Amino acid sequence: MKWTLINRKSLFSGFFKVDQCRVRHDLFNGGEIEIQRELFHRGDAVAVLLYDPARDRVVMVEQFRIGALDDEQGPWLLEIVAGIVEEGESPKDVARRECREEAGLDVHAFETIHTFYSSPGGCSEKIFLLCGLVNSDHAEGIHGLADEGEDIKVSVFEYHEVMDLLGADQISSAIPIIALQWLQINRERLRIESFVM
């Protein structure tokens, strides 16, 4: 299958960017089609599920999210640590920085969960999703960078508590849902490995 970018025009360039793209691509049944689409660029991001396997706890963060402005439960969402990849940074560099800034925690070890596009129908953002193994004993408080307008509350949940929240639709952001479903599959292995270390 082949495709050609015919034209790309910048429509907006601020904190985020929007391009208008005209593309010609092959069709599955033969022939080709020409389409015009807007492409939203927000940069790639890293998200980290903070898990304490020795105590079977999950560290979550809660913050105001403009995208949930019209949500009936309000725009404060329970999520996991995340941040934008800056030029020259590796996903693990971003993960270490964001875990410190948003949760005040140092991570003992990282495990890659998955890499995926958040919404490829119109957004170029790629998410690097990691699990960070931590000691949750001192995870608490309000964190974030004031100059970035961050006001992030850190909470620690027993594994069963966070799964109850997930089952009750109290976690409504896709990235933590994916991460917690991965944890359901990998929890026992992580706990066994933590006791072997």
pLDDT 10s digits, 89-112: 999 999 999 999 999 999 999 999
Kindly indicate the confidence band of residue 85, based on its pLDDT and cuts at 50, 70 and 90.
Answer: very high
The one catalytic residue in 148, 158, 188, 193 is 148
Least confident of 1-10, 78-87, 101-110, 147-156: 147-156
> 112 by DSSP, 3-state: which?
strand
Overall average pLDDT of the 31-51 stretch: 96
Take residue 94 and report the two structure tokens written for it. Answer: 């971003």
pLDDT at 15: 86
Kindly indicate the confidence band of residue 196, based on its pLDDT and cuts at 50, 70 and 90.
Answer: low
Please confirm, yes or no, whether 148 is among the known catalytic residues. yes
List of domains in the chain: 3-41 (no CATH), 45-196 (3.90.79.10)
pLDDT at 66: 87
Q: Report percent pLDDT > 70 for the chain.
A: 98
pLDDT at 51 over 70: yes
* Dihedral-angle region of residue 176 (phi above 0 means left; psi in -120 to 50 means alpha; beta otherwise): alpha
pLDDT at 64 over 60: yes
Distance, CA of 192 to CA of 54 (rounded, Å): 9
> Which residues neighbour 88 within 8 Å (Cβ) at sequence distance 6 or greater?
none
pLDDT at 197 over 80: no
* Dihedral-angle region of residue 65 (phi above 0 means left; psi in -120 to 50 means alpha; beta otherwise): beta
Kindly indicate the confidence band of residue 53, based on its pLDDT and cuts at 50, 70 and 90.
Answer: very high
Positive or negative CA dihedral for 76, 59, 50, 160?
negative
Distance, CA of 103 to CA of 143 (rounded, Å): 6
Overall average pLDDT of the 6-15 stretch: 95
Distance, CA of 148 to CA of 134 (rounded, Å): 25
> Which residues neighbour 156 within 8 Å (Cβ) at sequence distance 6 or greater?
52, 57, 58, 59, 60, 136, 139, 140
| Structural element, H or E, at residue 107 | none
* Tens of pLDDT, residues 135-192: 999 999 999 888 888 889 999 999 999 999 999 999 999 999 999 999 999 999 999 9
